[in-house]
Amino acid sequence: MVKLCGICENERAILKRPKTAQQICKTCFYHVFETEIHHTIIDNNLFKRGDRVAIAASGGKDSTVLAHIMKTLNERHNYGLDLSLLSVDEGITGYRDDSLETVKRNQQQYELPLKIVSYQELYNWSMDDIVKEVGLKNNCTFCGVFRRQALDRGAVMLGVDHIVTGHNADDIAETVLMNSKCRLPRYSPLEAL
């Protein structure tokens, strides 16, 4: 039996929202998603007219959706924001190349200025150089600290008032678990059954 959208009741539901358990169609999902973000921006006074906002652009799905939604809502609701894309090149051979190409396509598609900052430019070290020195064991710690600082430095270069980043619920849960003092027990797949 085909489930109809719980909002419009005309179209076939294509997903069930984890937040509300409501089954909705594609059109209603876009509407609800965009409306919720707009209300979050307005209700929390996140920006004021004329603010310069850098969208942290990794080239992944979260930052690409963020660039799209910020551009769309800025135009639709006349926020008056000056948007730009800010991307970081860590200098990891074969890792960031495709993502940076996606960011460059986003720049063209959304007609937004793009600033790419690199670890090499900022620190005179690439992540490849760091791994050669420290090995693979602690390289993620270096990369995380450098990335946050690179975004801050890129923001200064752009003269922005805000940096916005795109994250999904899985990212947030992963961060909580990775930074938690408690350790979850490890189970083999058979023990979990």
- Binding annotation for ATP: 56-58, 62, 88, 166, 171
Question: d(Cα 88, Cα 118) in Å, to the nearest integer?
Answer: 6
Task: Return binding residues.
Answer: 56-58, 62, 88, 166, 171
CA dist list (Å): 75 to 68, 79, 83, 181: 11, 7, 11, 44
Instruction: Find residue 4's DSSP bridge partners.
Output: 12
Beta carbons within 10 angstroms of residue 26's beta carbon: 13
Torsion of CA 85, 91, 97, 100, to 10 degrees: 0
